[in-house]
């Protein structure tokens, strides 16, 4: 059973993905995120980035839909979303698999939009853009990054990111990872 803290975090994540705010997540919401991300990185992204992002998000939608769309109607409701996260967080294996997958997917998306940027870490500015694509303003995004960057080096390594995702899935109210989605 999800704690109140976990429910609040997973609801925030749901709202990030529900781009049109209609209370369900559909493929169009994932593709909309890809479009917003391509626009945010337009200056640094190569011309094919938008198409690659769309394909990446379509693949992520399909994986998420297969696991979370319990009614098999190509829509994920809040209830289905929370049941999915309840299943993910029920075992250490589920948490680790999710954290690994989320980390690799995020690094893959950044490699698409910023192919000349670092591939082993998310620099502050790049991570902040991701948060602003998700609807946060730049000032709040900066505060979030600073909370996540424990060593203050201005970047989040793959290992740090994976650990933050695992913390985000957890129930520790003092965990830095709670801020991962803003």
Q: What is the pLDDT along the chain (182 residues), one digit of tens a residue?
A: 999 999 999 999 999 889 899 999 999 999 998 888 888 887 777 778 888 888 988 999 999 999 999 999 999 999 999 999 999 999 999 999 999 999 998 888 888 888 888 888 989 988 888 888 877 888 999 999 999 999 999 999 999 999 999 999 999 999 999 998 86
How far is residue 63 from each of residues 4, 79, 116, 118, 170, measured CA to CA in Å?
26, 18, 28, 27, 22
DSSP codes, 3-22: -HHHHHHHHHHHHHH-TT-S
Backbone CA torsion sign across 126, 130, 131, 136: positive
Q: What is the pTM of this model?
A: 0.90
- Secondary structure element (H or E) that encloses residue 157, with its range: strand 155-157
DSSP codes, 45-106: S-TTHHHHHHHHHHHHHHHHHHHH-TT-SS-EEHHHHHHHHHHHTTSHHHHHHHHHHHHHHH
């Amino acid at each position: 059973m999800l704690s109140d803290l976990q429910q609040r975090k997973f609801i925030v994540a749901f709202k990030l993905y529900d781009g049109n705010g209609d209370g369900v997540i559909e493929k169009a919401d994932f593709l909309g995120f890809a479009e917003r991300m391509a626009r945010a990185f337009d200056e640094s992204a190569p011309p094919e980035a938008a198409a690659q992002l769309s394909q990446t998000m379509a693949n992520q939608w399909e994986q998420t839909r297969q696991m979370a769309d319990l009614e098999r109607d190509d829509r994920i409701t809040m209830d289905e979303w929370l049941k999915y996260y309840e299943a993910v967080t029920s075992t250490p294996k589920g948490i680790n698999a999710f954290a690994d997958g989320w980390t690799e997917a995020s690094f893959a998306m950044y490699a698409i939009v910023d192919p000349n940027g670092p591939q082993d870490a998310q620099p502050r500015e790049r991570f902040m853009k991701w948060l602003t694509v998700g609807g946060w303003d730049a000032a709040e995004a900066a505060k979030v990054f600073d909370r996540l960057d424990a060593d203050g080096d201005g970047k989040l390594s793959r290992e740090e990111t994976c650990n933050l995702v695992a913390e985000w899935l957890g129930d520790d109210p003092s965990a830095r990872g709670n801020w991962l989605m803003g």
